[in-house]
Amino acid sequence: MGNMRQNAAITLAIVAFQGTLNAGQAAADRRAGESRLRIGSEQIARLVGEGEERSRAFRSLIAAIERTDGLVYISDGPCVPRVRACLLMQLDQAGPNRMLRIHITLRRPDDETIVAIGHELQHAMEVLGDTRVRTTRDMFLLYQRIGLRPPSSVMQFRTHFRFETAGALRAGETIRDELEEHR
């Protein structure tokens, strides 16, 4: 029985160490320009790094994006008023790659911004996880299918081009909880 516990503890330590190496490798790949996540500023890069360090769910989203044919650009940019982050409803092709853009408003506390980035990364995975989604029109149809009904926000009531999903809401909540645990 003691050997089983010791083996389990060793296995957990190895898995945790490998996870740390993988997160470190992902950050190194981004610095070398080999990552599928393209970050537009040092401040966003710092927040993404902190999210990876403190949240397993955040790390998992980035790892999932790295396994797709997508390029996800994250930059400081405008969304509609009172929205701190958004996945733009535009899907472009660059050779075999599908390209998505996330805009972030950086005038919020760091943890809130990390949660917002994670929420939008989940939206990116919703698109990139469905290989049939190849155009902006396909993206729009995907969100008509998987978007919450009735709309969950005032923004969704105002326009047909704003969507929210249960998956992105859950991802944000999970990341927020993990950030709280790892202050």
Question: What does the domain layout of the chain look like in residue ranges?
Answer: 1-35, 36-181
pTM of the predicted protein model: 0.79
Q: Is 33 left (phi over 0), alpha (psi -120 to 50) or beta?
A: left
Specify the residue for token string 């698109």: 127
Ordered per-residue pLDDT tens for the chain, 183 residues: 555 445 444 444 444 455 545 545 555 555 456 899 999 999 999 999 999 999 999 999 999 999 999 999 999 998 887 788 999 999 999 999 999 999 999 888 899 999 999 999 999 999 999 999 999 999 999 998 999 875 555 444 444 557 899 999 999 999 999 999 998
Q: How far is residue 85's CA from residue 76's CA, in Å, rounded to a whole number?
A: 9
SS (H, E, C) 100-144: EEEEECCCCCHHHHHHHHHHHHHHHHHHHCCCCCCCHHHHHHHHH
Would you say 70 and 35 are in contact if contact means Cβ atoms under 8 Å apart?
A: no
